[in-house]
Amino acid sequence: MSALVIELSGANGLESELGAARLVPGPRGDAATVAVGQVIKGNVPEVTNVGTASDAVFDFVLPQGDPGPGLQFDWQGTELGVRVVGQAEYEYTDLRGSAGPAAELIAVTLPASGWAGGEQTASDELFLASGRAYLVCPLPESAEGYAAAGVRALDVTVDGEMTFVCESTPVGALGVRVIALEVSG
C-alpha cells in the first residue's frame, strides 16, 4: 500500500495523488465548558476532572501552606493602625463615620395648672415647624405621671411652639426633655 500525501493548496480545496477534493465545512460544535468542583485540603496537591472531556469539572486537593506573618494593631483616637509583624509602619484608617445631624436639647416644664381642654403649649425658639424632627421623653421623676395621664407631644406646626395633649389632667408638673434633630428634605 502506498502512502497518501495531501497538500493544502489553499482554502478552496485539496490536491493529492487521488485527485482534487474540496473541504466542506460541517456544523459548528458545542463549546467546551470548564468549571471548578470541590476544593478540599489534603497532603498532596491533585487535580481531577470529574466531568467529561467537553464539560470539564475540576476537583482540587490543595495542601495547607505555611502560616503567614501575624498582624499587629494600634489605636490612635478613632484611627485603627494595622501592620504585618516586622514592618516598621502602621497603615491607619479612620473609622469615624460622617457627622450626624445637629441636635439641640430643649427642657420643657408642663405645669399642672397649664392644661386647658386636655392640651398645653410649650414655647421655645428652638421649636421649628420645618427641617427638624423631635424626640420627646419625660424626665425619670415625671415618667410615671406622664404615662398615667396619657401625655404625648404633637408635631410642631408653628415656629416656637410644641403642643402636648393628655387623656387626663396630670396631678403635678411634668419635666420633659425634647431633642430637636436637623433633617433634610
User: What digits encode the pLDDT tens for the residues 40-65?
Assistant: 999 999 999 999 988 999 999 999 88
**Confidence label for 30 from pLDDT (cuts 50, 70 and 90):** confident
Q: Give the residue with greater pLDDT, 7 vs 80.
A: 80
pLDDT value for 58:
94
DSSP secondary structure letter of residue 153: E
Element (H, E) at 164: strand 161-165
pLDDT surpasses 50 at 16: no
pLDDT value for 68:
86
- pTM for the structure as a whole: 0.49
Q: With beta carbons less than 8 A apart as the criterion, state whether 160 and 121 touch.
A: no
pLDDT surpasses 90 at 28: no
pLDDT value for 18:
52
- The span from the CA of 164 to the CA of 167, in Å, is 11
- DSSP state letters, 13-67: EEEETTEEE-----PPPPPPEEEEEEEEE-SS-EEEE-S-SSEEEEEEEE-----
Average pLDDT over residues 67-95: 92
Q: Mean pLDDT score of the chain, rounded to an integer?
A: 87
Q: Give the residue with greater pLDDT, 125 vs 11.
A: 125
Q: Give the residue with greater pLDDT, 10 vs 175.
A: 175
Which residue shows C-alpha cell 482540587?
Answer: 60
**Confidence label for 15 from pLDDT (cuts 50, 70 and 90):** very low
Q: Give the residue with greater pLDDT, 64 vs 151.
A: 151
pLDDT value for 13:
47
